[in-house]
C-alpha cells in the first residue's frame, strides 16, 4: 500500500510506502507531513546527485522552518 504516487521533477513515477514514511518520521523529524515530501519531489529547490549510491537527493527550503 502506498501513501502517495506522483511524478517527480524528471517525470519519474515515485511512490511513498508506509515503511519509507515510518523511516522518514524516525530519522528526519523535521519533516512534518507527507505533503512536504511530495512537494519536494515535484518542485525541489536543489538536487544533488549521489553518484556512489546512484540516487538523486531532493531538497526544499520551507520558510516556516529554520
- Residue-level pLDDT at 66: 53
- Residue-level pLDDT at 62: 77
Tens of pLDDT along the chain (66 residues) come to: 799 999 999 999 999 999 999 999 999 888 889 999 999 999 999 999 999 999 999 999 877 655
Other Cβ atoms less than 10 A from the Cβ of 65: the count is 10
Query: Strands 13-17 and 55-59, how do they pair?
Result: unpaired
pTM recorded for the entire structure: 0.78
- Residue-level pLDDT at 65: 55
First-to-last C-alpha distance (Å) of the chain: 33
Angle value at C-alpha 50, between 54 and 65, nearest 5 degrees? 125
Amino acid at each position: 500500500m502506498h501513501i502517495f504516487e506522483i511524478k517527480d521533477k524528471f517525470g519519474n513515477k515515485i511512490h511513498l510506502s508506509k515503511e519509507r514514511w515510518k523511516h522518514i518520521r524516525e530519522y528526519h523529524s523535521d519533516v512534518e507531513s507527507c505533503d512536504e515530501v511530495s512537494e519536494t519531489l515535484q518542485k525541489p529547490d536543489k538536487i544533488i546527485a549521489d553518484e556512489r549510491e546512484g540516487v538523486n537527493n531532493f531538497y526544499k527550503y520551507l520558510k516556516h522552518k529554520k
